[in-house]
Chains A and B, each alone.
Chain A
Amino acid sequence: MTDLATEGALARPARAVEAAQSVWSLRWRRFRHHRGGMASLVILATLVLFCLFAYPLERYLGLDSNTTDLLSRYDPPSATHWLGTDEGGRDELLRLMYGGQISLLVGLLATVIGGGIGVSLGLLAGYFGGRIDSFLMRLTDGVIALPLLPLLIVLAALDLTKLGFSSEFAHSGAAGFWRIVVIIALVDWTAIARLVRAATLSVKERDYVLAARASGAGALYVMTTHVLPNIVTPIIVAFTLTVGRVILFESVLSFLGFGIVPPTPSWGNMLNNAQELVTTAPALAIYPGLLIFITVIAVNFLGDGMQHAFDPRSERR
């Protein structure tokens, strides 16, 4: 061990920061070596930028991606419509970009909300144990055992006015958007809950937790100060992988007509009338799904790369 007593005064601040960062820079270095992960990071960054460019590109081309022009349906690619037009005469490229914004946003929001539910329930179950744990675990097992897509479809088909919402709200685009986010979050929290519970169980009996409890620390303090920071890495990986699943859920719901409702574009609902596209404009059937595919596969590789980088077996305690 280095002789701490002889460290110079000037070296102190630098080493402190170094010590805190060394764990994360170690992980970053390991991540860089994972080709799939690095490639995914680049791909995802590109995709996000691509989607964000929708508005500037729209202004540049002088188009309006929402107005339909039934005279120019299914036009082939041209100087103004780089990828041609869709079944409503709207620019395909712009709709892809706007659709991407929606799909990615839903992915992110539903993951955060669902993940939040999962983390909370997992913490509660793991920390308190006993009957709370039994109940929460039975609940989790129950939800896991359900056929998700049929359930999502029913939830998506609900008439909000029967729940007391006003008619205009129920049919607004915002309601449709948030409905999708909420119902996906409601069914997709289980994997994270199980993970967090297991991680909490392994941390809660450690001596530093006992020391805090001996000083009188309550459950909330222990969970936020000691448990959460120590289980952050598996949570990050789980969140990343969840994004992929959520994007797939949203796309299939939108495709079936139960998700994001046109005219708001989403990668899923752009394939609504797929049967028609197949015969009239096959390329249009390929683009949205391809983007979904690339996004999800990149997200999964990213999660895989993170898992390698965070591997606790190669990390010091």
Chain B
Amino acid sequence: MDALLSIEKVSVSFAQRKRLFGKERVSLRAVDDVSAEIGEGETLALVGESGSGKTTLGHVVAGLRKPSAGRVRLRGAELGAGNRALAGRAIQIVFQDPFSALDPRMPVSDIIAEPLRIQGIGTKNERRARAASLVEEVGLPADALNRYPHEFSGGQRQRIAIARALAPAPELIVADEPLSALDVSIQSQILNLFRDIQKREKLSYLFISHDLGVVEHLADRVAVLYLGRIIELARREDIFAHPAHPYTRALLDSMPSIGKGRRRKRSIKGEMPSPLDPPTACVFHPRCPLAQDICRKVVPRFEPLAARPSHSAACHFKE
């Protein structure tokens, strides 16, 4: 395949020891058999509630965690211990919390240039020059270079984090809820920054978010995760216009919408179950308005819709 990044049947399990009940070893499947692809210059949005495994999956793509099963490929090459350097340069990550994403003891120019320093790219002066140009690119003043993180606001820190991610000229950036910790007024600024940078540097994004409104603005395709399993994947327009999975529909319905008429928001029944003890067969069935007997017994396969092959979902009633 020609995809830039392909996630192939990735699963991540954590072993949990439950001593109280004897030597039972229960494993927590944070990510369960997820496959997806991201093309060049494309944004794949990863949507889900907390506990859905989206951050864990993002960490796997960024090389921070080894999958228990499956693999991640960059342009066909499997990412592993052998090509750490390649992955480190080509895939970068921006985190959610701007206040813990920057080392308080390092000046901004060092923070931004750090990926280059780690990879041994360029001389000290070259790195400094790169940091200077990046600082401008993310919309910060030049004198920010000599300052320390605590002198900046949340939005500015996030810009610094983005500049750092851009330093090694990556091809894909994993953005793990980069807007969630920011003030609403700042969010759109940073979102626009993401868009501008994408166009300029021809980047791909794995954009993780629980906010569908943000997703609508940025994503080319959308993947929906529930309890570590991918339950729907489609082009942006299709997800928003014709959601196939009841969970996706419920998410869309619960989106706050200004000016769309005073339609009563439908909330999803119940709470997300604990990943330690997932429901049988279709994991969504306890909360699903369409649940039938088959949903409790047979695991719905994640497959394309007959009507639109580019649109896949895992539901017995997806059509």
Contact = CB atoms under 8 A, between A and B. Distances in A.
Direct contact between A and B in the complex (CB less than 8 angstroms)? yes
A208 B112 CA distance: 11
Given A213-B64, A221-B118, A20 B107 contact: yes
B216 interface: no
B95 to A, nearest CB: 4
Contact of B143 (A4, A20, A217): A4
Contacts of A7: 141, 143
A230 B118 contact: no
Nearest to A215: B115
B118 A215 contact: yes
A59 interface: no
Contact of A214 (B93, B96, B100, B150): B93
B85 interface: yes
Interface size class of chain A, counting residues whose CB lies under 8 Å from the partner chain: 20 to 34
Contact of A4 (B63, B87, B141): B141
A206 interface: yes
Given A210-B64, A221-B118, A317 B101 contact: no
Q: Interface residues of B toward A: which range? A: 35 or more
Contacts of A20: 107, 148
B68 interface: no
Contacts of A215: 88-89, 92, 114-115, 118-119, 168
Interface in B252-305: none
Given A20-B148, A208-B100, A216-B85, A229 B105 contact: yes
Nearest to A228: B105
Interface string B193-210: 000000000000000000
Contacts of A229: 103, 105
Interface of B: 59, 62-64, 84-85, 87-89, 91-93, 95-97, 99-105, 107, 111, 114-115, 118-119, 140-141, 143-144, 146-148, 150-153, 156, 161, 164, 168
6 contacts: A12-B143, A15-B147, A19-B146, A20-B107, A221-B118, A229-B103
Given A7-B143, A15-B143, A214-B93, 16 more contacts: A1-B153, A4-B140, A4-B143, A12-B146, A13-B146, A15-B146, A15-B147, A16-B107, A207-B95, A208-B103, A210-B59, A213-B64, A214-B62, A215-B89, A216-B88, A216-B118
The 7 closest A-B pairs by CB, nearest first: A216-B88, A16-B146, A215-B115, A207-B101, A207-B95, A208-B103, A215-B88
